Amino acid sequence: MNKESSSYYIPHTLDTLPVELLYEIHLYALSPSLPLASRHLYAVFKSAPSSIHAEYLLGCYLQDATRSSAARNAGLVSKVLRYPICSQLVLEAILRNPLCPSHLSGVTELPRRLFRSLAPRKRGDPHTQLLWSDEDAPLPFLRFLYSHPRIPPPDANRHDGYVLTKAVYARFLPLVSFLLTHGASPACKGALPVMVAIRQKDLALVRMLIERDGTVRAESPRKRKAADSAGTQATGAGGTQAGVERWEQGSGRGVKKRRLEDRVAVNTEMLKLAVKCDARNIVDYLREKGCVPDMQTLMMMGM
């Protein structure tokens, strides 16, 4: 190249390429490192359409499935759900893609990322509502995963019951009810979800976890708000008795419900923790359930 023509030469980098061409390079490379090459590339790929994200995730799975039996055993849905870009829209686009396997087998593993940010809502926070609703994330996405006919049934007890424990910790009652209805067990990891509810001194939530007939359909958000307000006045700042009672009102008047076996058996560790937390109503409840305190617990109770 001579000196005259070199003055008109413009060097090309990835940042100067059209977005459509960057998408093609991204789908060809299937490299998780490419979006991290520059801030521009990261912004381009992060804001890409759902169809591009779907094609990328499907390509990554098919590539891994041809090389590893572990990827094949994990299954398509479990694999793509691990990526933060996998939303409901992206997953729907994957299932519509002609390259998506027609038959998806195995069990869907719910990733921890969907529940990691769950935390109790604080009174007086202007940015959030005090009460959780049926439309708060990740509940709508979970309803889609559990109801889609092509998606293998999710396992809510993976990761030692992490999903239910986080829902209990956040006092996300609609999510707790949904998980219990779909097979989540409060007995996981030494009944950790029950222990968390005991530490919160929340008798109604403890009952909800232990008793199978304690979880029923929800009411309207307006009624839930009124019930929770009344329950706060009755039980103090630490209680949500009335807030959970709305889940326990039954499906109709005059209908007798058959007593079902508890989801988890009460034990002395639960009773000991309730005594330590000075949750006297929970202590009385556990003793009514037949839990016998050991000598150390009796000494703590002053008996």
- What's the pLDDT score for residue 290? 92
Output 6 or 70, whichever has higher pLDDT: 70
Q: What pLDDT was estimated at residue 137?
A: 95
Beta-carbon neighbour count of residue 170 at 10 Å? 19
pTM, to two decimals? 0.79
Closest to 202 (Cα-Cα) out of 228, 182, 223? 228
> Which residue in 224, 138, 227 sits closest to 175, CA to CA?
138
Q: What is the mean pLDDT of residues 66-77?
A: 90
Structure-token match 């769950």, residue found = 118
* pLDDT score, position 124: 61
DSSP 103: -
Of residues 2 and 151, more confidence is placed in: 151
Q: How much is the mean pLDDT over the chain? A: 84
Q: Are 76 and 103 in contact (CB under 8 A)?
A: no
Confidence of residue 293 (pLDDT cuts 50, 70, 90): confident
Buried b (16+ CB within 10 A) or exposed e, 193-226: bbbbbbbbbbbbbbbbbbbeebbbebeeeeebbe
Beta bridge partners of 108: 154
In this structure, what is the dihedral angle of CA atoms 15, 55, 71, 105, given to the nearest 10 degrees? 160
Per-residue model confidence (pLDDT) at position 121: 87
Q: Which secondary-structure segment (H or E) carries 79?
A: helix 76-81
> Taking residues 91-116, what's their average pLDDT?
94
